[in-house]
């Protein structure tokens, strides 16, 4: 009986350790402007947000072949996976030389 309780306690502890998801999420962006974020994975679902290419989207996971579960502006919803792209970093403009001003 003690072995069963110990095994059960270890199993529960292992379950809690595995449930703590510390993996970093991927930040992506929309390919196009006016991309809709749906409440459920389906176009018949209510639209909870409309995003542009300037919005940063936290990709939680790919839901299936067509949909991705995302977080935008503290709202969790679904976007067509094909409408997402990797975050594009805009190049910084060259700063004028400060040595000429000395």
Cβ atoms of 78 and 68 within 8 Å: the answer is yes
Strands 84-86 and 26-30: antiparallel
Pick the CATH number of 25-86 from 2.30.30.40, 2.40.110.10, 3.40.50.300, 2.60.260.20: 2.30.30.40
* pLDDT at 87 (0 to 100): 84
* pLDDT at 84 (0 to 100): 95
For 10-20, write each residue's pLDDT tens digit. Answer: 776 766 665 65
Rounded-to-integer distance, Cα 32 and Cα 51, Å: 9
Question: To which residue do tokens 């292992």 refer?
Answer: 14
* pLDDT at 3 (0 to 100): 80
| pLDDT confidence band for 88 (50 / 70 / 90) | confident
Overall average pLDDT of the 67-95 stretch: 86
Overall average pLDDT of the 73-99 stretch: 79
Domain boundaries, the chain: 25-86
| pLDDT confidence band for 46 (50 / 70 / 90) | very high
Residue 9 clears pLDDT 90, i.e. is over it: no
């Amino acid at each position: 009986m003690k072995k069963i309780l110990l095994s059960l306690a270890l199993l529960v502890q292992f379950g809690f350790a595995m449930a703590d998801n510390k993996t970093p999420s991927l930040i992506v962006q929309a390919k196009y402007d006016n991309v809709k974020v749906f409440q459920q994975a389906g176009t018949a679902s209510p639209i909870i947000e409309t995003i542009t290419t300037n919005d940063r989207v936290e990709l939680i996971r790919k839901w299936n072949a067509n949909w991705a579960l995302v977080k935008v502006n503290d709202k969790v919803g679904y976007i067509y996976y094909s409408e997402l792209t990797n975050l594009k970093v805009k190049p910084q403009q060259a700063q004028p030389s400060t040595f000429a001003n000395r």
